[in-house]
A and B are shown apart, each in its own frame.
Chain A
Amino acid sequence: DAGITQSPRHKVTETGTPVTLRCHQTENHRYMYWYRQDPGHGLRLIHYSYGVKDTDKGEVSDGYSVSRSKTEDFLLTLESATSSQTSVYFCAIRGVHSPLHFGNGTRLTVT
């Protein structure tokens, strides 16, 4: 299995609090992605990275920020969590011309 881990696996937080999710890889892959998965919507891209300090927005980036200061770590931050951000969050990695590998997901509940 590709070396990719997400933390935490589960998180319950209150509206208005900041939350940071971490994705860590040991594959030295160039590309890292954050997706959210909601019923009826499938996987939607939040942000992605194509190298250290190189990031760009996806289709549902409002309310989220990311950072990638090292190849192996890609952090997703919810600056001020809202109930609409309750979701399952997946990190994915891939190298150039190589398959996608997903983390196990983080189930986030905002109350």
Chain B
Amino acid sequence: KNEVEQSPQNLTAQEGEFITINCSYSVGISALHWLQQHPGGGIVSLFMLSSGKKKHGRLIATINIQEKHSSLHITASHPRDSAVYICAVEEGGSEKLVFGKGTKLTVNP
């Protein structure tokens, strides 16, 4: 079974800082998802990656298949970025996803 580890578990930043959240997994995958959940809110899909890099606004996601590692970067962080960020992986040939426990980000003004 794939083990998905996220780091850090908690992260506090000042507005404007560059943020990096990491996700490592143990078994080969077909795709990796980054999700965002605001306090008391629903869960939103940010990215789905199988290779390389994707960018959407101030968010950038990268994946290194050989190293079994993905990063989510937030440039020019803002208090509205405060949320829990969750990594999930799809194992090849499986319909199920394995989730990390999330990284709680707090961005202070």
Contact = CB atoms under 8 A, between A and B. Distances in A.
Interface of A: 31, 33, 40-45, 48, 50, 56, 58, 90, 92, 97-105
- Which 3 residue pairs across A and B have the least CB separation, nearest first? A102-B43, A42-B101, A99-B45
B95 A98 contact: no
Interface of B: 31, 33, 35, 42-45, 47-48, 86, 88, 95-97, 99-102
B100 to A, nearest CB: 7
Given A42-B86, A99-B48, A31 B33 contact: no
Contacts, number: 45
Nearest to A97: B31
A43 B99 contact: yes
Q: Specify the main secondary structure of chain A where it touches its partner.
A: strand
Nearest to B31: A97
Nearest to B98: A45
Given A43-B86, A48-B96, A58-B96, A101 B102 contact: no
A42 B33 contact: no
Contact of B35 (A58, A100, A103, A105): A100
Given A42-B101, A100-B33, A50 B95 contact: yes
B43 A98 contact: no
Contacts of A33: 97
B97 A102 contact: no
B27 to A, nearest CB: 16
Contacts of B44: 102
A105 B42 CA distance: 7
A99 B101 CA distance: 19
